[in-house]
Structure 1
Amino acid sequence: MSRLSSKFNYLIVVVTALLLASCASVDLMNQKLAQSTAPQASSISDMTYTPLKTGVEQSILFGEQTPTFQFPHGKGYYAAYELTETGQPRLVKVKTYLSASYLPSASILVPNLLVLDKDKQQIGKIENYRIETDSNFFTGMTYYADLPLQANAAYLVVYAAPTHSENIYVYSENGTQYALPLAPAGKLNITAGQLQPLDTDFSKVTITDSYQAHDAEKSDFFYVESIDGKSIKNSLQRSVELNRGKGFRLDPYIIDRQVPANKQVKLTLAAKTQYGAPIQELFGKVYQVKGEITFTPEKDKKYRVVGELGEGSSSVWLEDEATHQVIDKKIQGIGK
């Protein structure tokens, strides 16, 4: 067997072991859940409800001492809350975290919510929603969502989702992608937002960046740089971060973001040629252009940032993803 073949086989063994370690961690959580002797509620109305005050973040830890309930998918830990203010719609924020800092062994608890009225009758179920990410020095990677509650919501039951409509990923510093298995236990936080007017529309639309690759070392990026004057994450920054240590290679990582529907918004759109290594910019051509547009996103539509970068002129614009209609205007510039 050749040395190269031996290294390849070793890599397969290591990757397989890491994947199994992650699965084993979740399997162990499920085993402890199945063996849990903590109190089990006989019905939703039988649960003990803790007051959830507006604007006060509550921490939840699902584990062996947590009460359980027989949900349609099976036995699960739960936390039950009574909203202290009702009668108007609002957002409720949920935050969750990785189970381990070692990414190949990490899993994540994704909360589902049963929404109940004042009589503790189910009036909604929140699941399969979009999950955003954030990170800081103190908490590390955080996964969160702002979820709308109807005006007659009075109680919430929080439990771990057995499935989720989209895979949830985390990336290492060198851009390696890991799919996170769903965990039945772990830590999360929940906060009830301020009550909003009865006619509040919480609908959002998605705006996606794009890129055009020239080769494995060079791409043109078209992205949103800021929203209403506030800088946001964009695909150029993300790609630069996740390509550190790869030499001249540049693998694009495209992201999107959501903005409220039917509400005017100001976007700073930008486009730039990016190389895998900074030194390449000294010898290659770099084109870029930036400017602002203002528009009102329409409900149920999707938008994409696109453009053209070249010697004679460069431009970037926002378009309707379905019709390719230019939104507001094209932002144009000249040369490098």
Structure 2
Amino acid sequence: MRAAVLLGSVALLAGCASLEPATPADYTGPTVNVADQAVQVSGQLLHVFEMTQVDGRRLASTSMATVRANQGRGFSVAPVALTNDLPLRPARVRLQAATQYGAPILAMTNPTCRVDGDVAFAPEAGKAYRVTGRVTAEACEAWIEELATQQPVTDKVSGKGTKS
């Protein structure tokens, strides 16, 4: 699992060239905002809940932005959370929940989790949303919630927790 997290981080950095905006260039209608979330657990660890794709389009992600912003900081990490404006129409979005350490070596020697998957999302006008979730020993999960009510509006993407 730890090797997979390290390889996933390398793949994230290698695949940056083909990223697209969440809203297609030819779309001119209303949009809604969906914010990623990065929870600071310690000076070396974040729990990241993010949207990485919309209808098959790969997005810039909080994970990638955080890695770039923290290069050269040694083992410490500070979050960089991104937001996306999505067209006001039903979409298929890929969500991800993951632990993110300040240095790859920490992911090889500490508990990690990473889960991603696609969910249906039908945003409503006038509302704001965020990707949220939980990382525990038992489960690693992500979903989208309405920001004002903190109520889930998508199914959960779930996987194994940090317990090896």
Give the shorter-chain TM-score range: 0.7 to 0.9
**Structure 2 CA distance, aligned partners of 1:272 and 1:321?**
21
Q: 1:328 aligned to 108, 129, 154, which one?
A: 154
Q: Does 1:272 align with 2:82?
A: no
What displacement does 1:280 show? 0.8
Q: 2:134 aligned to 287, 308, 313, which one?
A: 308
What displacement does 1:335 show? 2.7
Letter in 2 for 1:292: D
Q: Does 1:295 align with 2:111?
A: no
1:165-180 equivalence runs, <5 A: none
Query: Match for residue 163 of structure 1?
Result: none
What displacement does 1:332 show? 1.4
What displacement does 1:328 show? 2.5
Query: Match for residue 3 of structure 2?
Result: none
Gaps of 5+ in 1: 1-135, 137-145, 147-192, 195-199
**Structure 1 CA distance, aligned partners of 2:70 and 2:28?**
39
**Structure 2 CA distance, aligned partners of 1:335 and 1:256?**
26
**Structure 1 CA distance, aligned partners of 2:98 and 2:31?**
27
Q: 1:214 to 1:322 in 2, by over 3 A?
A: same
How many percent of aligned residue pairs carry the same amino acid? 28
Task: Give yes or no for contact 1:288–1:309 (8 Å, CA) kept in 2.
Answer: no
Runs of 4+ in 1 over 3 A off after TM superposition: none
What displacement does 1:201 show? 7.0
Tell me the alpha carbon deviations over residues 136-179 of structure 1, each in whole angstroms, 9 at most, x when there is no partner: 8xxxxxxxxx9xxxxxxxxxxxxxxxxxxxxxxxxxxxxxxxxx
The structure having more radius of gyration, on CA atoms, is 1
Letter in 2 for 1:271: A
Q: 1:222 aligned to 28, 46, 49, which one?
A: 49
**Structure 1 CA distance, aligned partners of 2:101 and 2:93?**
25
Query: Match for residue 31 of structure 2?
Result: 204
Query: Match for residue 242 of structure 1?
Result: 69
Tell me the alpha carbon deviations over residues 50-95 of structure 1, each in whole angstroms, 9 at most, x when there is no partner: xxxxxxxxxxxxxxxxxxxxxxxxxxxxxxxxxxxxxxxxxxxxxx
**Structure 2 CA distance, aligned partners of 1:237 and 1:331?**
20
Q: 1:213 aligned to 25, 29, 40, which one?
A: 40
Query: Match for residue 254 of structure 1?
Result: 81
1:182-201 equivalence runs, <5 A: none
**Structure 2 CA distance, aligned partners of 1:269 and 1:324?**
17
Task: Give yes or no for contact 2:31–2:85 (8 Å, CA) kept in 1.
Answer: yes
Query: Match for residue 111 of structure 2?
Result: 285
Gaps of 5+ in 2: 1-16, 18-22
Q: Secondary structure at the match of 1:245?
A: coil
